[in-house]
Structure 1
Amino acid sequence: MIKNIAVVGLGKVGSLVAILLNKSFNVHGFDSQPIANSYSFQSSMIDITEREAAFQKLKEFDAVVSCLPYKYNIIIAQMAHQAGIHYFDLTEDVKTSDEIMKLSATSKGIMAPQCGLAPGYIGIVGYDLVKRFDKLRDVELRVGALPRYPNGLLGYSFNWSPAGVINEYIEDAEVITNGKRKYVSSLMGLETINIEGREYEAFYTSGGLGTLCKTLDGKVDTLNYKTIRYPGHARLMRFLITELILKDKKEVLEDILTIAKPPVKEDVVYVYAAVEGWQGDKLFREEFFHTYLPQEIDGQEYRAISWTTASSVCSVVELVHQGVTPSKGYLKQEDINLDDFLSTSYGKYYKKQI
């Protein structure tokens, strides 16, 4: 049972996570910056670099949700492990998730990283299709979080963490090709996608598969995750990251892109999954595709990327609370049934647009 939850990081997504969870739990929000008094939940400042002081605050809760940039998540995870409480985050960083998996071997609570949109919801959707087959051939997962009205050559706005996006573009992506697990360079594997008559591109990015490569190893010929963008985006990002060698200066690249491509209110999220395989002796292809737009919650409109990410992690928290999932160890997204996910108090936000 979960009663008291700490939400660390009250940015665009973290504040919404706290607002949503506060409908069912006692929530206390923490941030490194002064916090507005208009929130419905209690809040205070925290400095996670002061580890002992931060630990003394967090250990009083039943669970902690980290909505911090990926490089800080392991610190919160270690504190949760030490305190013996449940841990959830939104990370796309593979190294962070691997370290959390090691912690989970001796955890007293659940350790659940990768609970956002991708990795997260897309893995739940994809594995729901996988379970319909007796034998698999191909699994393709695609997600795009985009401005509805793009401008400039990049055709992008940073409604999501710039640090997280850049990390996805720089780190290698794990895939299964010809039945073998391997790593490929992100921003490669370019393909053209047509969505409702409009052309997009998709390419490999790191972290989107979560633990699916481990789960489906030896069971599928092809498995990959690609990010959807407007045409030309990958080529320009490769220029910045590789040719200008800004991969070695992530903070500089983050500053440039944050200033150049600020957030927009009108965004769109595309979620697409396709699985090919055999049902009995017949070869089939099952697909899932939905478009998610900004949505009003409690009288305030939230960007599509914000509510899809926030409601995803909140749904996982509720399922752990209800005992639908295991109560300790490492929680993989493919262990969560899509119907259970959509039946939670927070899954309703997805159902409104399905």
Structure 2
Amino acid sequence: MGLRLLALGHHTPFMHIGMAHNYRNSGQAVQAVRDAGYEISLGLMPKSIGPLTFVFTGTGNVSKGAQEIFNELPCEYVEPHELKEVSQNGDLRKVYGTVLSRHHHLVRKTDGVYDPVEYDKYPERYISRFNTDIAPYTTCLINGIYWEQNTPRLLTRQDAQSLLAPGKSPVAGVEGCPALPHKLVAICDISADTGGSIEFMTECTTIERPFCMYDADQHIIHDSVEGSGILMCSIDNLPAQLPIESTEYFGDMLYPYVEEMILSDATQPLESQNFSPVVRDAVIASNGMLSNKYKYIQKLRENREHAQSLSMGTKKKVLVLGSGYVSEPVLEYLLRDDSIEITVGSDMKNQIEQLGKKYNINPVSLHVGKQEEKLSSLVATQDLVISLLPYVLHPLVAKACIASKVNMITASYITPAIKELEKSVEDAGITVIGELGLDPGLDHMLAMETIDKAKEVGATIESYVSYCGGLPAPECSDNPLRYKFSWSPVGVLMNIMQPATYLLNGKVVNAVGGVSFLDSVTPMDYFPGLNLEGYPNRDSTKYAEIYGIPSAHTLLRGTLRYKGYAKALGGFVKLGLINRDAFPALQPDANPLTWKELLCDLVGISSSSKCDVLKEAVFKKLGGDTTQLEALEWLGLLGDEQVPQAESLVDALSKHLAVKLSYGPGEKDMIVMRDSFGIRHPSGHLENKTIDLVVYGDVNGFSAMAKTVGLPTAMAAKMLLDGEIQAKGLMGPFSKEIYGPILERIKAEGIMYTTQSTIKL
């Protein structure tokens, strides 16, 4: 604990107490504890950490042995209900201890009363209040309780998350000394009962590696004493740290009984043996049967085997809707857990067949828009639904989830149609989380992490600008659009037709889409080697409320592209190609058209016109823009290639570009995100903070877009399945409960972001 406190910025007398195996005998170890106690009694504990409190659970010899060592410190024992007071106002020249019994924290669910007789018979009727009444005022927990199935745990993973959440320190601030981020610093689980009363103690530590850190936010265990989390020790062979002394002690205790044990006859019934009470009580099994005193072991074994069989037989069922490029990272991540069973529903037969060959899934043919009854019956059998479908289908999926009270997750925006279902989601008591991909998704999470940290120190957000783009890697951008597609281009093309609203220096700016789209395109001054440009999208002003930053005078969220993209698309707009209105000449029953014939029609000349005439007419329509004309020629839009059949012009163009600008073998994509914040600190200083996220796709592996959309979605799904997310209702990833673990876990998947700050005086 001394090293952990040092890592948190506090030098204490505990620094000089080593592990037991560093001492020749227990006497030397006890002397080291006494020396630390002497320094504590002199008032050498830092005021910034406040009085230390130690809580002992269990009444057996192991717990009593721990208390014997604790008694070598200048200590005072208090009742559990007094912990809160002494943890805030206690004497720093001593440490405080309490011994916890069942009646201190176990209460009946119905009326908050503890009945020991009833608890022994029906432990499932009780809950533990340790997490609320004791743990918040505990510095170090020494746990000696063995956990049985159906009995309440002392601490769960969710309890740990709550206990480690940053809050106001009960200790008055000391200038120049950091306060502890949370009261609970360490747990020594001497029961060594993995997954027991301390749920998140999943592995015993060893003499070689006696400590680990449990990070409750990320639900991960690491070896360093630095970082966030609880210091854990759970060595299951503690006597081996002092082997000579332990051997001598056990030998001395055993020696008086050796003779009668040697003279015993194991073939005779236990009752006929002439044993002393000590030896008789020590006999666990005789003649192939457990002795009377230890028959409870069989019940324990049966209970545990039954619980294990139930857990093995009960798999978490997940329905993944959609089989596109994002689905693979989702499947790969979730299927790392053998307890998850996945069904994939899609109307793309070839795609789900390929997924079925690669992953252990149950592929089901399903057209969500046309087979609502089949969708409902599928959803009803699941624990969670992940919708990776086009956003227009999410309301259908959400309604099915509401009807069957099944949780749902999606990477897409929470649209007005989904928002209308918010009350129904709440009434159903389910969790529906949207905007969990990249943009929206990681952009929200990075923003909220920065905003929440700023608020913790009393700072305000004056500006927030976020640009994000999925791009081909620079070496793969050799076309007029400087862009390539791994999915349908319709959404990308239609995006430039939509108006955008943002806040700039306190003024609301309305950017018009369509022909005026180019007016809102701005060159970016960061990553100069990439030569980027950006334009605003959607309504950025609403994020003042969503992010809780009403003080911001600038709010802008936009899209990044390589320079030249916007101008090339501007040519499509001028010619009317980005139009979703029905176009009869492209319907299946119409005569086939070439791009040359279609362009002739769009510029108002005869379809039999020569190429030069068409080029001149198009050039004029483009306002004499040579670059845009060359882009059309490069893409084959002035030639004799047949136009794909489609409902509209933009659908036909989309199909053409999906082929013309697809990724070739060995080519990869990238995503670039830049978040910029203006943070005004209480001192008056302005901090300009930037967060950069750049991810490349893997050759012959997952694309950057698939990774950055699919993995956060899968992580949120896993958190929901594991109970890490407890909130109910419709939500995005705006709370630390959601964004905190995901931002940490993406790093383990190679999705790294960097931050940089400059201060203006």
Output the TM-score relative to the length of structure 2: 0.43
Q: How does 1:1-354 map to 2 (within 5 A)?
A: 3-24=316-337, 25-34=340-349, 35-36=352-353, 37-40=356-359, 41-48=361-368, 49-92=370-413, 94-99=415-420, 101=422, 103-133=424-454, 134-148=459-473, 149-179=476-506, 184-185=511-512, 187=517, 189-193=520-524, 194-195=526-527, 197-206=529-538, 212-215=543-546, 216=548, 218-241=550-573, 243-244=575-576, 246-248=578-580, 249=648, 250-264=650-664, 265-280=667-682, 281-295=684-698, 301-336=701-736, 338-344=739-745, 348-351=748-751
CA contact (8 A) 2:502 2:541 kept: no
1:109/1:328 contact within 8 Å kept: yes
Aligned-partner Cα distance in 2 for 1:103–1:350 = 38
Higher RCO, Cα 8 Å, sep 6+: 1
- Displacement of 1:103: 4.7
1:351 deviation in Å?
A: 4.5
| CA deviation profile, 1:226-283 (whole Å, cap 9, x unmatched) | 1110112123324324651523344234223323321353111112111102121211
Are the counterparts in 2 of residues 276 and 285 from structure 1 also a CA contact under 8 Å?
Answer: yes
Structure 1 distance, partners of 2:426, 2:574, is: 38
Structure 1 contact 19–39 (Cα < 8 Å) conserved = no
Contact 2:692 2:753 in 1 (8 A): no
List runs of 5+ in structure 1 lacking aligned partners: none
Given that residues 677 and 689 in structure 2 are in contact (C-alpha distance below 8 angstroms), is that contact kept between their aligned partners in structure 1?
A: yes
Q: Classify 1:132/1:196 alpha carbon distance in 2 versus 1 (closer, same or farther; 3 Å).
A: farther
Task: Give, as a single letter, the amino acid of the residue that structure 2 aligns with 1:118.
Answer: D
C-alpha contact 2:481 2:565 (8 A) present in aligned 1: yes
Contact 1:65 1:87 in 2 (8 A): yes
Q: CA deviation at 1:120?
A: 0.4
* 1:156 and 1:261 in contact (8 A); partners too: yes
Structure 2 segments unaligned to the other structure (5+ residues): 1-157, 159-314, 581-647, 755-761
**Higher helix proportion:** 2
- Structure 1: which amino acid aligns with 2:562? Y
| Segment of structure 1 superposing worse, 80-89 or 237-246 | 237-246
Q: Tell me the secondary structure at the aligned position of residue 579 of structure 2.
A: helix
What letter is aligned with 2:460? K
Partner of 2:545, secondary structure, is: helix
Indicate if the aligned counterparts of 1:4 and 1:62 stay in contact, CA closer than 8 A: yes
Give the drift of 1:177: 3.9
The answer to whether the 8 A contact 2:460-2:549 is kept is no
1:147 touches 1:156 (CA, 8 Å); kept in 2? Answer: yes
Inter-partner Cα distance in structure 1 for 2:750 and 2:512:
32
| Contact kept in structure 2, 1:92 and 1:164, CA below 8 Å | no
- CA-CA distance at 1:123 after TM superposition: 1.0
Identity %: 16
User: Would the aligned equivalents of 1:267 and 1:305 in 2 still touch at CA under 8 Å?
Assistant: yes
Identify which range, 87-96 or 196-205, moves more after superposition. 87-96
Q: Equivalents in 1 of 2:318, 2:358: separation in Å?
A: 15
Change (3 A) 1:130 1:180: farther
Q: Tell me which amino acid in the other structure corresponds to 2:440.
A: P
Letter in 2 for 1:38: K
Is the 1:212–1:334 contact (alpha carbons within 8 Å) kept by the matching residues of 2? no
Q: 1:334 to 1:147 in 2, by over 3 A?
A: same
Letter of the structure 2 residue corresponding to residue 341 of structure 1: I
The answer on whether the counterparts of 2:488 and 2:658 sit within 8 Å (CA) in structure 1 is no
Determine helix, strand or coil for the equivalent of 2:710: helix
Which of 276-285 and 104-113 deviates more? Answer: 104-113
Aligned residue pairs total 349
Deviates more, 1:80-89 or 1:246-255: 246-255
Compute the displacement of 1:191 (Å).
Answer: 1.5
Give the Å deviation of 1:57.
1.1
Q: Is the 8 A contact 2:530 2:562 kept in 1?
A: no
Q: How far did 1:100 drift?
A: 5.1
The secondary structure found in structure 2 opposite 1:247 is coil
The alpha-carbon distance between structure 1 residues 325 and 83, as it changes in their structure 2 partners (threshold 3 A), is same
What is the CA distance between 1:10 and its match in structure 2?
0.6
What does the per-residue CA deviation read over 1:169-200, in whole Å, with 9 as the maximum and x for residues that have no partner? Answer: 33333533454777644555322123153311
Q: TM-score, normalised by structure 1?
A: 0.87
CA RMSD of aligned residues (A): 2.9
Q: 1:87 to 1:167 in 2, by over 3 A?
A: farther
Deviations 1:279-333 (CA, angstroms, capped at 9, x unpaired): 212111111113111248xxx6211111111101112222333444343212222
Question: What letter matches 1:141 in structure 2?
Answer: S
Distance in 2 between residues matched to 1:236 and 1:99, nearest whole Å: 38
Cα deviation, residue 97, structure 1: 4.7
- The structure-2 alpha-carbon separation of the partners of 1:236 and 1:128, relative to structure 1 and needing over 3 Å to count, comes to same
> Separation in 1 of the partners of 2:538 and 2:414?
7
Structure with greater strand percent: 1
